[in-house]
Amino acid sequence: MCGILQGLYPGKVSLQSSPGYLAQQANYWSSRQAEVAPRCRIQPTAASDVSAIVVVADYTGCQFAVKGGGHATFQGASNIEDGITIDFGQMKTLSVSADQKVTQVGPGNTWVDVYSYLTPQGLIVIGGRVAAIGMGLLLGGGISFLSNQYGWACDNINSYEIVNATGDILTVDRATEPDLFWALRGGGNNFGIVTRFDLATYPQGLFFGGEVYYSATSNNSLSMFNAFSHFTDRVVSDPKAALILGSAYVQVSDSWLFTNSYEYADPVPIAPPIFDEFLAIEPKVASTLRVATMSDLALELNSYQPNGLRETYIAATFKIDPTFMYDAYFDFRDSVKSLQPQPLGILPAIIFQPIGLNELNFMLKDGGNALGLSPEEGPLLLLSLGVGWSNLADDARILAMTEAWMDRTIEAGKNRGLFHRYVYQNYAGKNQDVFAGYGEENLQKLRDISRRYDPSGVFQRLQPGYFKLGL
């Protein structure tokens, strides 16, 4: 297939060991992805290129992967061994409609590209919080600093340009293709290759926000989780606020920090009262709270996620209970401590994020999304791990540690009546059953839509990476 594509698109195909191939291979966040070796890589420049690639792949039976930002953690998510990787690095369209209500975004952009383009115009879209993450976030949900005001990113997509299983280029919106539109809002890469996202666009100036670091102790941890619970209640009436509560291990000092992100969608001079309970907690180590652009905030979060480590994620959802959060947190700390000898360069983090009632209510708009969440079940806790490390030799024991911790945490959640089936796709581990977490009815609907739009299973058979529907 590489030879056919070279004939069709000279200059766009990079073969193994060529400078272009090596440069693209190096442009993955997780080195676990970068070590996968496709036969060749192609950088399309238009939807018509993608259409031809899909047709040729179907004709030859050649498997492929699709890379946008390349921020997934595990092998094969957006790269493929011995197949073709479609790299969107040359499809970075950005344009705003005349009425400033829609931004057209090409799939090769990262979120810092989008925010850097929109901020000078006093505009924003609902997207990722880390600079280098790409548009694939939109297909798995997409939590934003503005989600309490407008919903998740997938709930703020007006339409998609998509290449389907037969190579046709479709415009998908609620009016023209309501079932496919619903499926794309959380259904991942199972229905086609999106070549443009048309995103709802809103006025937005500067933010107040940044990071606050605390020494993480047994004395202040429960206070932190109580503050999390109270914030989730209060943000319903103060939706400009956003929170990420994290804790990370610092190997060089053998210590744990709370690393919390507080954001507010107004350039207020001091932290708004909704953060007072957090800011009363001691001991603090440092703070970067200031007035900033969205790009600045996204670059700050990106600085804590360096490229080149081996990475894994895993995630689950629960009802909010501070004591449960405390127990899960210290179980994770004990799990990390049990890794002896300690893996070189290990960077483990545990992240607590609220899925509040405002966010859940927005999931009902425009026909809803595929995620299987409802306001009646909320508010909820999205609990996830992110672990980075240096050496391939440590893969097995780190992955086993994270999965064992998750198994214990889910069992504890079930025993306390706190567990929710939902698995957030963008933070899921390779072995997690994401779509079962959407509920039986939604899973069946997704499968039915896949069979209707892709009866030969092109995106199940030939694009095997990331999370599939089990057809």
Are 318 and 383 a contacting pair, CB within 8 Å?
A: yes
Residue 471 pLDDT exceeds 90: no
Encode pLDDT of 296-319 as tens digits.
999 999 998 989 999 999 999 999
User: For residues 172 and 181, is the Cβ–Cβ distance under 8 A?
Assistant: yes
Which pair of structure tokens corresponds to residue 295? 């790009």
pLDDT recorded at residue 392: 97
Average pLDDT over residues 204-210: 98
pLDDT of residue 45: 98
Task: Give strand pairing partners of 214.
Answer: 258, 284
Mean pLDDT of all residues belonging to the chain: 97
Mean pLDDT of 260-274: 98
Please report, rounded to a whole number, the percentage of residues in the chain having pLDDT higher than 90: 99
Contact 360, 378 (CB under 8 A): yes
- Tell me if residue 144 falls in helix, strand or coil: coil
State phi, psi for 112 to the nearest 5 degrees: -70, -30
Q: Does the pLDDT value for residue 37 go beyond 90?
A: yes
pLDDT of the residue at 121: 98
Tokens standing for 202? 């809103």
- Work out the burial of residue 206: count CB atoms within 10 Å of its CB; fewer than 13 is exposed, 13-18 middle, 19 or more buried: middle
Q: What is the DSSP string of 90-113?
A: G---EEE-TTSSEEEE-TT-BHHH
Distance CA 86, CA 53 (A): 9
Using one digit for the tens of pLDDT, what is the confidence trace for 113-162? 999 999 999 999 999 999 999 999 999 999 999 999 999 999 999 999 99
Residues 344, 394 contacting (CB under 8 angstroms): yes
Flag whether pLDDT at 294 surpasses 90: yes
| Structure confidence at residue 333 as a pLDDT band (50, 70, 90) | very high
Task: Provide the pLDDT for residue 74.
Answer: 96
Using an 8 Å Cβ cutoff, are 261 and 243 in contact? Answer: yes
pLDDT tens digits, one per residue of 69-108: 999 999 999 999 999 999 999 999 999 999 999 999 999 9
The pLDDT score that the predictor gives to residue 414 is 98
For residue 52, the SS3 value is helix
Q: Determine the Cα–Cα distance for residues 283 and 292; give it in Å rounded to an integer.
A: 25
Residues 359-399: tens digit of each pLDDT: 999 999 999 999 999 999 999 999 999 999 999 999 999 99
Asked if pLDDT for residue 181 goes beyond 90, the answer is yes
Are 315 and 383 in contact by the 8 Å Cβ rule? The answer is yes
Looking at the predicted structure, is the pLDDT value of residue 259 above 90? yes
Nearest to 47 by CA among 103, 98, 100, 88: 88
Mean per-residue pLDDT for 347-353?
98
Whole-Å CA distances, 118 to 41, 98, 105, 241, 292: 31, 13, 11, 21, 14
